Amino acid sequence: MAKTKHALSPKFSLILLNLFIVAATAAAITTANTNGFDSPSFKISRPWPFKKLNKPVVLMISCDGFRFGYQFKTDTPNIDLLISRGTEAKHGLISVFPTMTFPNHYSIATGLYPAYHGIIMNKFTDPVSGEVFNKGLQPKWWLGEPLWVTAVNQGLKAVTYFWPGSEVPKGSWTCPEGYCPHFNLSIPLEERVDSVLSHFDRPEDEIPDLLMLYFDEPDQSGHNYGPDDPRVTIAVSRVDKMIGRVIKGLKKREIFDEVHVIVLGDHGMVTNCECDEKAIYIDDLADWIKIPSAWIKSYSPVLAISPQWDKDVENQGEKNAEVVAKMNEALSSGKVKNGEFLKVYLKEKLPERLHYSESYRIPPIIGMVGEGLIVRKNRTNAQVCYGDHGYDNQLFSMRTIFVGHGSRFSRGKKVPSFENVQIYNVVAEILGLRPAPNNGSSLFPRSILLPFGATRDLT
């Protein structure tokens, strides 16, 4: 007997189709959440819950030298808005050591500590070639893979505006005209904001997936006047107005809730004074050891010493250890003014938490300078106070801000402080990128982001 054919009703077929879609979506989410970045994959292709952009977009804004706590010095309504509707590092973002601009911006971009991405200070000398790095753009200095390279290598579009290191040609990234302006400090912050926002007026398929914007304030004011000066408060207020300009521009384009806006800084700021009361003088160690000026590559906030031994001197490592021992003996003797605020190490003996030994570019002897103090060769009778950074990243004064707003960030969530090397993986997760090797944890994004598919309602 022939089998009876049963035709499914359109309504029942639609129910089955919906069940299939839900099951497939749940399976995809489960796979993404369990595999994370621990297994290799191609760029993750994901549906996007919004209509205007139809893809995830990240806009990262760096406010150079924005010390954590500045947001309490004056009204910052726009930063406050992002905090109230987003996720904040409750007690600030932890910078990498040394807490300087170029090492930290490139750590944010690559997820690597300076010893691994090569930019160990703002200025340093290559001990092999003798060449000096002074914020140069030659690719040989810049190791690792920054976010803009990861993005374009995997078929996405990226825009950078003055982000340190972004002008360096690398991989598929050539700092393309119109997408990577060359640094010019005279360009007003307003113009920078408007230029970045203009990319959202491009045709839909040309809108960048990643945009990285750099403000040089409040760092400049902090250096000039110190973090407690009223003029720094004015600079903080101005930066907040620029964040407001970003928010207004995104709202005008009806995409504020679709763009993941990350506002952060690179380091904090502390007052130091070039005066006898806050200085340590290398010449005061002369009764124990004489350190020639030619050996000193940096005085403070990081004392970096590279002894220049004659080629016929054997056991140079042991000789370096003797230098460290004699310096520390002098500094702890009670006979060197402020000596207790300087501790000298062979670089391989530095505290592991600093991650500051695995590079031949790092000088063999490193001195950790106390908060707000300076090191000088000898007395100059200078009596100048100003702001500085670069000190131990464990110091609270070296912390900065982190705020994330967007569908993957929980509303009003406070998270514990974390190091900025974790940010690379967070951005990679939002954009669905396969991350390059880095020092961040592949699991960290799960602690700060909502799972894909569980995006919250931003209204």
Active site residues: 101
Residues with Cβ < 8 Å from 456, sequence gap 6 or more?
407, 410, 411, 450
Dihedral over Cα of 91, 93, 94, 95: its sign: negative
Q: Cα angle at 92 between 86 and 98, to 5 degrees?
A: 135
| HEC assignment per residue over the chain | CCCCCCCCCHHHHHHHHHHHHHHHHHHHHHHHHHHCCCCCCCCCCCCCCCCCCCCCEEEEEEECCCECCHHHCCCCHHHHHHHHCCEEECCCEECCCCCCHHHHHHHHHHCCCHHHHCCCCCEEECCCCCCEEECCCCHHHCCCCCHHHHHHHCCCCEEEECCCCCCCCECCECCCCCCCCCCCCCCCHHHHHHHHHHHHHCCHHHCCCEEEEEECCCHHHHHHHCCCCHHHHHHHHHHHHHHHHHHHHHHHCCCCCCEEEEEECCCCCEEEEECHHHEEEHHHHCCCCCCCHHHEEECCCEEEECCCCCCCCCCHHHHHHHHHHHHHHHHCCCCCCCHHHEEEEEHHHCCHHHCCCCCCCCCCEEEEECCCCEEECCCCCCCEEEEECCCCCCCHHHCECEEEECCCCCCCEEECCCEHHHHHHHHHHHHCCCCCCCCCCCCHHHHHCCCCCCCCCCC
Paired with 270 in beta bridges are 388
Q: Which residue type is seen at 326?
A: K
Nearest to 133, CA basis, from 320, 298, 374, 376: 298
- Tokens standing for 276? 């006898």
